[in-house]
Each structure stands twice: as C-alpha cells, then as structure tokens.
Chain A
C-alpha cells in the first residue's frame, strides 16, 4: 500500500464524490417535495425531515472525512472490534421498547438510531478480515480456468465466516426486521466473487424460480389433458421436475462422453431429490412458518391477491404514483399522490421515496435515477476490482452488494416486482441511521478507491 496521506486530495476519486453529492442533493430536495409543509418551508428547519436529513448529511460528511483520513490498516486492525460493538448493540437493542412492533431502535430525543444499519458495516469488515486472512479464496476453484459456471460441489465456507454472518442475522431476526435480514443475503455476492458460493448463487436462482412456481401453482389443481385425472399443483410440479430429469438423462446419454456420465447422473439424481424436497419445504414453509402479513406481501407480488384498497393498499398507491408520472412527470412539488400533504402513498419519504421522485419527474427522472445507481454500482465494482489486497476487495464488494440489494429491493418493491420490505433507498430515503451507515460504507469504498 502506498503511503500518500500527504496528498490525499489528489487521490480522491472525484467521480465517487460527485455521485455522492448528486444523490444526496437530489435526495434532500426530493424529501423536501415529499414532506413539504407550508408552515415550515425552510429547507433547514430541524422540525422537518429535510432539515434533519441535512443535519445527518453533515454528520455523515464529518464521518466521511475522518474515514478518508484513516489508514486502511487501521480499519483492518479494528475490524473485529467494530464487529463486536455492533453485535453488542444488536443485543442491547432487543431490550429497548418496541417501535412499530420491532425492537430495532435506540431513541435519542426525536432522533432514532438503528444498530442493524451499522451491523452491516461490522459484518463487511469482519468478513473481509477473516477471508483475507485465510487462503481459501485462492485455492477453491483452481482446477478450472473458467469459473463463471460453478462446479457442482458443495462449497465449504469456513465455519467462523459463516458465524460472522449468521450471528447478527439471527439477532436482527429477533427484533424482528425481515428487511435488514434479507440484506444480509447480499454477502452471498461477495462469497461468490471470492470463489466460495458459486453453486450457492446458482442454487439460489433456481430455488427462487422453483419457489415462485410452487407458490403460484401449489394451491391450485389441474386436469391432465386427455386423461380425466385431477392433480394438485404440487404433484404437477413434481411430475414436471421428474420429466425434466428424464430429458436431461437422455441429453447426457446422447451428448456426453461415457466416462463423464457417472458424475453427471449422480448430480442429476441428487438435484432432482433436492428440488422435490425443496418444493415441499417451500409449501410447508410458506403455510406454516411465514407470518400472515409476509404471506400477504408475497401473494400480492405474485398476483394471487388483488385488493387495491385493503391488503394491496401500499403497493397500489405506490404504483399509481409512479405510473401516473408519465414521461416528464407532474413537475417538482406537484405530486398528487406521493407527498405527505396528499398522504396517499404511505412512508413516502422513507421506504417509498422512489414514488415521489418518479411521480414528479416521470420516466425521464426515474430512468435517470436508475442510471445514476447503475453507474455508482459499476463504479464500485471497478474500485473493488482495482484493489490489490484481499481485505479491501472483499470489503468493497460487501459495500457493493449492500448497495445493490437496497437499490434492487427498494425500487423493485415500489414498482411491484418485489414484495414490500421496509428498506431504504441509499442516500434518497429519509433516515439518519441509513444516511450515516451508507455514507460510512460509501466513504470506506471511496477511500479504498483512492488508495488502490
């Protein structure tokens, strides 16, 4: 690592800084439109959300500057400590009074802090430190030159690494905060990049497809054409999987060299069994384990429930706000649904902030925002890839994964592609904890970037 702390300004990745201030600036003006109150028109009024957001921005920039001045080695050195503190906070918060049914907040006056937001940073640091310290990342997939397609072997993630992930995840589930918990699955991306979880990622994609099909079809029944046999949807899925298996069997027999067939047959039978078990697990899990409101949210996305003024109220209002924006939008501060005054879209300054933006700026605005986030994410991948040390690369990828998940789920939820999960849109949603944690993550990433 170069030691150029005397020339840090020259090293700053100005594109990142520009993106940061662009997003934060647009975010604050968007919150201003979203919660505009004629009694408090001052942008900096601390009673208003935009005023508070500006305060949080100030704190964040202060933290950012400190982080920029820190040596990476310092971060690496205290990574476990930081992780430890966040874990302790996650435990303590479970004894705090519940807000909206979840013990997730430390209240400080009118400000609230969510330790789960900071837990993400702790996990990213700890994971980076642990994985960089072990040599697993290098030896895992060495036999194959091309590793985009993962080998079908269960990757053995070292137990400590797994624990680093699972302990905070479990604590967050106890709050309960399903949204932040889901963000923890973003670390699978990091593991994938580091050569651990290739098959896990593929599994995940196949599993999501099977799960969606199962949930849509399982409760229905159908009649086999020609035969007058009535089958349940689940039986249909299982039959389809077996049919697929038989097709693959013939494909293997026809196109694969005999000496390679044995392993593939085993893999085929194995995955078929796993898939059939998984189908049953999904069905049972859906009906027995999930809470009613979670089931409802999933059913809404899958289109199994259509209740625009009841269960589907939030998502219906959100989609109406976005969809009514048209190409150029209704104009700044001219939204008729997604602002606090109108109150049609719930949580329009936090979880559904994308609605205000898209309603007022139309497709032109929503596309621009998607583009800005895409550029940011690609830029973060580039920074991560530029790293020479494993620690910084893993950490940078963790940050990228977290941002990507937040972007994907928050926007996906607002446009009806993902179930309603209350997680913020980085730099856009109102909220001190998320503002600070995203800033810390971001400045870490940027700082790493300028020292690569």
Chain B
C-alpha cells in the first residue's frame, strides 16, 4: 500500500485543526476579556431613575423650589418613516436645520435604539404637542423632573442648574454625562444634599434593545433616593418685597437676623425670573441675560465690593473707644479744612457724631487710633497704628472669610501697613496720606453681606454668627460653624453710645436718616453716601454718589439687621434709608403703614443714565 503513509497526513491535519481551534477557544474564552466586555455591551443595559431633587423651603415653610415633570422627546429612527417634517418642526418649534442635524445624529447612533430628540419640554408646551404626536411614528416622550421656582424671585439666592461638564465628571465620579448639577446659589452649595441618589435597574436586552429579563434577578439594582429637603433662613415675603422695591434700581439689599446670623433676604437688582434658566431654553436665555448691560446675572450682594461710605464710621467710633483714645463723651469740632462736611452743629459726643455723620470728627478720632504715639517718628507711628486699626476692622468681619454657604462670595478690602508701604514706600506715609479710609472711602472696599453683618454685630452689641442661608437640613445637623458666636475686638459696653447715635440718626430732627423713621418700630440706622468713579476709556469720571443705609430694629431685642446699597442715586438718607425702613416694617409687622413712602420707592426709576459717557464696563471687582 504505497499511499498508506498519507493517512498520517490526513490524521495530522485533523489534529492540527483541532489544536488551532482549542488554542483559539482558550484565548477567546479564558484569556482575552474583550469579548466578555463586548457581550456585556451588547446584551446588558440599564435604566437610570433620576431621583427627585430635594425641595427647598423658606423660613416659614413656604416651598420656594420644587420639582415639575418636564418631557424629553425621543426618536427611534427606523420607525420614524413618512414624517411630515415641515409640520413636525412647527409643532415642536425647532428649525429645519436642527431637525435634520438631530435626526442624522440619532440615525448614526442607532437606527433601532431610541435617541434623545428634544429635551426638557415644559409641561405647558408639551400639552400642545402630545395630542399631535400620534401622527409621528417613532417619536415618544419620556418624563423627567426639573426645577420650578414658584415664586419667580430670588434667582440669585436659588441659583440654577445645568448639565455637568467634563470637569464636574472628573471631580466627582457620581456624575454621568447628561446629569444636571447645581451651578449657582444654594442649588450649588447644597448640591450634595439636594441631588439624592439615582436608582439603577440593570437588565438584559435583545438585539433590538427591548428588555427581556432583569440582570441577575436585580441583584445590583438600586432604588432612587429623593434628595433631602432643606429649609433656608430666607423670609420669602421679605425677599419678594425687597425685589419689588429694588425694581428699576441698581444695587442690593441684605437682611440678617442678628440673633442667628440667618440671612433673611438678599436682593440684587436687577434680577431675573429663575424659571428662565430651566428647560430647553436655558442656554438661549442665559445668553440674553449675559448680554444685558445692567448685569442681571451678577449677584451684587455677594460679589460686588463697594466703598462703604459713612456707614463705615461706626467701626471708627467703636475702635477709638475700645482703644481708649476717646471716651463716649469726647467732642471734636467740625473742622472742614481737614475733610469736607455738611453744615451741622458741633458734635459733642460719639452719639452726636454718628447722628450728624460729621466727617472731621471721624477724621480726628481715626487719626487718634492710628497715631497713638507708640513711636516718636510719625511715619513709624502710623505704620504701627494702621495695623492695629486694620485688625479692629477685620474683627468686624470686613475683608475676612465669613464662611457664607454660598458660591461666589467676595471679600472686602481692608488696607494695612504692608499695602500702603507698597504704594508709598515704607514710612513714606502717615494718616494724612490715607485719611479717606476713616469715612469709608479711598482704598476701603466692602461687600454688602459684610456690611449687613456689621449691622447685625451692632444689633448684638459686639458679636455675630457667620451669615448663612441654611436653617434646616432634613435628617442632618446644620454645620456647627453657624452656631458659634464670633466676637469683635470691641467690648459690648462701647456699643451703647453708637447705637444711641444710630437711633438719633433716624428719630431725631437733624439726623441724616429721618426718612427711615417709623412710629411703631425703633429703628437704629446710619446713612452713607459714597463717592465713586468709573474709569472709562482711560478717563476717570466721578459718578453720582451711591446711596447707602445700614440699620437694625427694633433698638432693643433686634430682629433684623439690614444694609441697603443703591448705586448712583445720591445721598444715603434719600433712597436707601426709606427703603430700609420699608423692609424692616414689612418684616416685623407684615404690613406697610405709610403707602406714600412705599409708592415713592416703588415708582422711582433710579437706573443711572450713562449715555452721556459710555456704556459701563463691568467693574474690576465684579468678577464672579
């Protein structure tokens, strides 16, 4: 049998093929994981149940943020045949260009699986779409909950949400593309508490993506957990009222409950309806708001630093007394050659000086703080004295971190020795060089939150709680930091003369804040009128003064401390003082006795006209 040996060749071929198959199978099934991953990708899928976000209440348990069902429109491309696209785009209000683009993207993703077509259609728009939807096969809706702001106010406090970006996802792996995240305001601060925990259901799918069974009998599934509800210290009625009063004005109002540090209202004008930044038109509306030259998106209360003007004098008086350079009964004459002043009688005490807001008085007492004779050299003396002064100012929270539970809070600026050394060289300056700081001008800058806190400090006679928005968190303690008292460097005994002066500002003839007077409530206040400049095209223009009022009430057992700042509207007593009194009255009594006063404010359009100069540039300090 001459060909017999060939049987071995054939047998060998069989064995070789079997050997190759075995090696290949071992590699594919045991060593290489790519097919396991691929199989999972093909056959497994999950549905994510987005948790309802936590509800936000105000201090009176009024719902200020809740959830509403919005609709996403999805499409299965190979079912969407014979669509009258012209009619369809009219129905859902989109451009033909977008329609074609979205449809092509969906087709590219998968012809058999559904893709997002149009997202976040508000319920009122969807009620018009839903009855027509049967004409368009392949399109179907999916519910999703979004935020709704029933009060339409407090946009700056509440903030807004939008889709997570890559940075968010990198920072916190909880977030997946397409998730929403609190971007500003309390939505951002309390994101973690509000967002809840998403639920996941894993399932097996067939080749057209239809669920066939639960994955591992639901072993890995989780239920969605609703976000925690939180309660803010905000009094929503007061907030709304504040926004109404500030309509057609630029500036801000901050009110704090002195006994707790809870922020009662924070108005920044102009504002906007927070509902504008919800849903599919978010981007469009945001751009619109961003283009507005009055900067409605900018939160002036937390982010703007302003010169405090005369309201700053209160700290001078308190510091001087604590340092022992004056007594409450010290009098100084109104020497207008030192610093300009208005006409008034001579101030024979701290109380008088506060009441009349006498510039030379505060010039002289601040000089006494800074030049205490600790060095025989006047320049060295100023250097030592200014740092003492700066420490005092900072002990009132000015220019320091107030630990406010809010994003984008700026700090004021308190100049110290090192700062002036840089400008004028070491020992190249003394009080006369820098005297504007004593009346809250010059280099001093504050935020309105800091100044409202100052009013609360005075109301408390020497201490404060860090201002904060949070009042309660469901099932959680509010941070301890908000429950501890912070003391200033001034003893409480020195507050009485200042408070007396502040009462007289409002309630005595000749006081600068008479327009704030109320029959029913003893308001203590201090006016401020801040010179300000705008540099436009390299030229420094003096603008109309800012109108400022700092106050608390009632004088004994204070319930509210407030700071009102109205840009470019002149003397503090004219606009800021009456506005502050309306807020106080509203908060304490719940009603307004003097409607003439109210109407005067409501009807005033105080938006400055810059048309004779140039459109305003965003101030340097107004960075977000």
Could you tell me which A residues sit within 8 Å of B by CB distance? 137-138, 140-142, 144-148, 189, 192-195, 198, 308, 316-317, 319-327, 336-337, 341-344, 358, 362-363, 366-367, 370-371, 373-374, 377-378, 381, 384-385, 397, 400, 404, 407-408, 411-412, 415, 417
Contact = CB atoms under 8 A, between A and B. Distances in A.
B2 A142 contact: yes
Nearest to A318: B35
Interface stretch (B5-13, B68-76, B125-133): B5-13
B89 interface: no
B110 to A, nearest CB: 8
25 contacts: A138-B2, A141-B3, A142-B2, A144-B2, A193-B10, A320-B42, A322-B35, A323-B29, A323-B32, A323-B36, A323-B38, A324-B36, A326-B30, A327-B29, A336-B43, A337-B42, A337-B43, A342-B43, A342-B212, A344-B206, A366-B29, A370-B22, A378-B15, A381-B10, A417-B21
B29 A337 contact: no
Interface in B37-59: 38-40, 42-44
B76 to A, nearest CB: 16
A325 B29 contact: yes
Contact of B3 (A147, A366, A377, A381): A147
Interface in B144-160: none
A35 B206 CA distance: 14
A415 B204 contact: no
Given A146-B5, A147-B6, 6 more contacts: A147-B3, A319-B35, A323-B35, A342-B206, A366-B25, A397-B10
Label chain B's interface by main secondary structure: helix
Nearest to B204: A336
Contact of A322 (B25, B40, B206): B25
Contact of A385 (B7, B20, B206, B207): B7
A193 B35 contact: no
A348 B349 CA distance: 100
B484 interface: no
B7 A381 contact: yes
B2 A145 contact: yes
Interface string B16-27: 011011101110
B219 to A, nearest CB: 14
A245 B607 CA distance: 95
Q: A146, A317, A321, A374: which has the most chain B beta carbons within 10 Å?
A: A374
B25 to A, nearest CB: 5
A412 B21 contact: yes
A124 to B, nearest CB: 16
Nearest to B111: A309
A321 B40 CA distance: 10
Contacts of A374: 14-15, 18
Contacts of A138: 2
A366 B29 CA distance: 9
B2 A336 contact: no
Given A142-B2, A323-B38, A343 B206 contact: yes
B223 interface: no
Given A142-B2, A147-B2, A147-B3, A323 B39 contact: yes
Closest 4 CB pairs of A and B: A323-B35, A324-B39, A363-B29, A374-B18
Interface string B500-540: 00000000000000000000000000000000000000000
Nearest to B7: A385
A410 to B, nearest CB: 11
Nearest to B40: A324
B22 A367 contact: yes
Q: Which of A194, A384, A408 gathers the greatest number of chain B CB atoms within 10 Å?
A: A408
B212 A327 contact: no
Interface string B185-209: 0000000000000000000111110
B201 to A, nearest CB: 16
B34 interface: yes
